[in-house]
Amino acid sequence: MKFAYGLAATFLVIIATATLTLGQTPNESGASDEAGTIAVMDHIWLDAAHNRDPGTMEWLFAKDFVEIHPGGEIVDKKEQIDQIKDPTRQIKEIHPDDIDVRYLSSDVAMLLDTTTIRGLSGGVDYNGTYKVIRVFVKEQGRWKAAGAGIAPIKP
Amino acid sequence: MKRFSIAALATILIFAPLAFAQTQDRSSAEEETLKKLDHSWLDAEKRLDIAYCEKFFADSYVLVFPNGQVYTKKQWLDVLRGPDHPVITFLDPEDIKVHLHGNVAILTDHTTLKGHDSKGNSMDGEFNVFRVVIKKNGNWQAAGVVMNAIAAKK
* Amino acid A21: pLDDT: 38
Domain extent for A6: 2-152
Residues A12, A17, A21: CA angle, nearest 5 degrees: 150
More confident residue, A138 or A18: A138
Write the ipTM.
Answer: 0.85
Residues near B38 by beta carbon (within 8 Å), at least 6 away in sequence:
B93, B96, B107, B109, B131
Residues in chain A: 155
Selected residues 56-85 of chain B with any CB under 8 Å from a CB in chain A: 58, 60, 62, 64-68, 70
- Residue closest to B42 by CA, chosen among B131, B125, B134: B131
Give how many domains chain A has, as a whole number.
1
In the structure, what pLDDT confidence band is assigned to residue A122 with cuts at 50, 70 and 90? low
Report pTM: 0.83
Contact status of A98 with chain B (Cβ, < 8 Å): no
Average pLDDT (A27-51) is 88
Q: How many CB atoms lie within 10 A of CB B148?
A: 25
| Whether the predicted pLDDT of B10 surpasses 50 | yes
* Amino acid A18: pLDDT: 39
Give the residue from chain A lying closest to B107, CA to CA: A66
Domain B2-149, architecture per CATH? Roll (3.10)
Closest partner CB to A108 (pick from B62, B134, B151):
B134
Average pLDDT (B68-86) is 96
Concatenating the DSSP letter of every residue in B60-85 gives EEEEE-TTS-EEEHHHHHHHHHSTT-
Q: How far apart are CA B1 and CA B69, in angstroms?
A: 69
| Whether the predicted pLDDT of A10 surpasses 50 | no
- Write out pLDDT tens, residues A86-121: 888 889 999 999 999 999 999 999 999 999 999 987
Closest partner CB to B134 (pick from A103, A148, A153):
A103
Contact status of A60 with chain B (Cβ, < 8 Å): no
Yes or no: say if B74 and B59 are a contact pair by the CB < 8 Å rule: no
- CATH of residue A145's domain is 3.10.450.50
